[in-house]
Chains A and B, each alone.
Chain A
Amino acid sequence: MTTWTRPPESDDSLVARARWAVADCRTVVAQELLHLVRQPSTFAWQLGFPVVMVLLFVYVFGSAMDVSGQGAGTGYLEYAMPGLFAMSMAFGFMNTAFAVAMTKEKGFIDRFRSMPMASSAVVTGRGVADLLHAAVDLVILVVIALVLGWRPGGGLVATLTAFALLLWLRFALIFVGVHLGLSVKNTEAAGNLFAVAFPFGMISSVFTPPDLMPGWLGAVAAWNPVSATAGAIRELFVSPAVSSGYWIEGHAFAAAVGWPAVITAVFLPLAVRRYGRLGR
């Protein structure tokens, strides 16, 4: 049997540690991506929800909705698709939270932390993998949207900016997911987060213009970070968007950049602190 020389102690220099932090992150990402390859069914299930939502809203409820002022159902696909993209990003934090809770519950975090690897890789690897996952989700949703007849109305730059904004929202929510995933007791509790996530996603301009809601609820919906991203990308896709007169709706792009920045500023330190507390 081979004798294994353990990694040299020179690994402890700052430069070496930074290098390993990147390498370990890549290893964790590779592991996560192997999951997608080996278990595409999980992936399909996660996508199932937005797909069902789009079919429900576009074909069942959408026919009754007058978002363009030109009669019920007209322009609803153009209105709902960007909302759906934003919602799928928003609900993504559930996947992060669930995966983190699973890592904790199955003892993976303990094993990783007892190893000479960079312990940050547990979180950074998760984040990178989730962003890649979100990008794949978006590609699939866009293909479905194109099949249904949706077309982005802006130029290439506008369209790419819209997808960048979507991933920016997803990026910010990684930290919410990590924080919640580390905070909940187990995966079951992480699954129950859906009860919170659902209204968070739905009280927004995703499927319904806020001015069709009662005044106070409309204001909440308009200020929802998901609405900010949805509103901004509707502008970039040149979709019909009825302004309900809320101040925030006139500044959708700024809000779509600003909200995720605020969320990151709040939840990144919280998530880091939570992770550090595992050593308590």
Chain B
Amino acid sequence: MPQHAVYADGLEKRYRKTRALAGLHLAVPAGTVYGLLGPNGAGKTTAVRILCTLTRADAGRAEVAGHDVRTQHRQVRRRIGLTGQQTAVDDSLSARQNLVMFGRLFHIGTAAARQRADELLHQFGLADVADRPPRTFSGGMRRRLDLASSMILAPDVLFLDEPTTGLDPAGRREVWQAIGDLAAGGTTVVLTTHYLDEADKLCDRVSVIDHGRNVVEDTPEGLKRRIGTERVDVVATDPGDLPRIAEVLDKAAATAVESSVDAATLTVSAAVADGVPVLVEVAAQLRVLGIPVSDLGLRRPTLDEAFLHLTAGARGRGEVRA
């Protein structure tokens, strides 16, 4: 087993006028869950398609499970599983028939395919509905069957392209649980997502991608740290109080950056270096001035804020669209 389950360098891909990838670099250590995070059109799916041998890169090279995706695609295909954006299960066949079909196409033989289907149905909690067609399933169940279909050969690397897009919260939790179990079992997982809580929850490392380039690569915690420390949020009861609250917050926070006011949610928010004393100070001042508030709190920045902050920075640095 090579040190990196996935290694890609200088991947470029152009579709007519759009530059989908502009020199992407990836190094995914074996046994980790790695997230490709970015807005729609950032190049995440193109990257996965190249790594899964579905599409050829215009430039650059990539190795998956120790084999070159361009010259050794047969070897790569025996070592990967892919769960694409659409749920690729046959709605007319039963769940078991789906898995047996995929098993036969993975060349493990019909008897082994049957046995493997039963194991996977059990592992993904679908044993009770094995003989029902997936069109009668919930979104989460369909996606779990989809995941099971890409786990026939217990792949070295599992690629998941937006595994929870379009699922309800219960479905997302189910799929998260399934992915977490696979990762705990030692499967290297590469997933794309534009849900930051998903990356936060599942990934060991995250590469933020925008316009086909790496913007930053870090742990989810590290990403959040990058945009500063804590924030103090004050929610007003009366929109008229917002300017005065902002003034109080700026004075207490004593940072160069001014607080931000969101009139829609009546929230004033400021980044602070040392949260608790500022929070106490703000509370005291508001009481002295007699300004009523509906909420007052200290929180860590969300990954969403980190994401917007980072991709906005990348956009500012230059347009890469051709």
**A→B interface (CB under 8 Å):** 1-4, 6-7, 9, 11-12, 20, 23-24, 27-28, 30-31, 34-35, 38-39, 105-108, 110-117, 121, 278-280
Contact = CB atoms under 8 A, between A and B. Distances in A.
A114 B93 contact: no
Nearest to B13: A280
A38 B77 contact: no
A24 B105 contact: yes
Interface centre among B54, B150, B159 (most CB of A within 10 A): B54
Contact of A105 (B54, B78, B86, B102): B86
A2 B49 CA distance: 30
Contact of B106 (A3, A9, A30, A116): A116
Given A38-B133, A39-B92, A280-B56, A106 B77 contact: no
A179 B23 CA distance: 33
B52 interface: yes
A110 B154 contact: no
A8 to B, nearest CB: 9
Interface in B123-157: 123, 133, 149-150, 152-154
Interface centre among B105, B112, B153 (most CB of A within 10 A): B105
A7 B107 CA distance: 6
Interface of B: 49, 52-56, 74-75, 77-82, 84-88, 90, 92-93, 97, 101-102, 104-108, 112, 115-116, 119, 123, 133, 149-150, 152-154, 159
A116 B107 contact: yes
B87 to A, nearest CB: 7
A6 B106 CA distance: 8
Contacts, number: 97
Contacts of A7: 78, 106-108
Nearest to A110: B84
B105 A110 contact: no
A-B complex: 7 closest residue pairs judged by Cβ atoms: A107-B86, A107-B88, A114-B82, A7-B107, A117-B105, A107-B84, A111-B88
Contact of B54 (A23, A39, A279): A279
Contacts of A117: 105-107
Contacts of B52: 110, 114
Given A27-B104, A111-B149, A279-B56, A34 B93 contact: yes
Contacts of A108: 88, 90
Given A2-B115, A113-B54, A114-B53, A35 B107 contact: no
Contacts of B107: 7, 11, 20, 23, 116-117
A89 B88 CA distance: 29
Contacts of A38: 92-93, 133
A140 to B, nearest CB: 20
A20 B92 CA distance: 25
A110 B53 CA distance: 10
B119 A1 contact: yes
Contact of A27 (B77, B93, B105, B116): B105
Contact of A3 (B93, B101, B154): B154
Given A107-B88, A117-B107, A6 B54 contact: no
B101 A31 contact: yes
Nearest to B101: A31
Contacts of B153: 4, 6
B88 A110 contact: yes
B253 to A, nearest CB: 49
A241 to B, nearest CB: 41
A111 B107 CA distance: 15
B103 to A, nearest CB: 9
Contacts of A110: 49, 52, 54, 82, 84, 88
Nearest to A39: B92
Contacts of A3: 154
Nearest to A34: B93
B82 A111 contact: yes
Nearest to B112: A4
Nearest to A30: B101
Contacts of A35: 90, 92-93
27 contacts: A2-B116, A3-B154, A4-B108, A6-B79, A6-B153, A7-B106, A7-B108, A23-B107, A27-B105, A30-B101, A31-B90, A38-B92, A38-B93, A106-B86, A107-B84, A107-B87, A107-B88, A108-B88, A110-B54, A110-B84, A111-B150, A112-B105, A114-B53, A115-B105, A116-B106, A117-B106, A279-B54
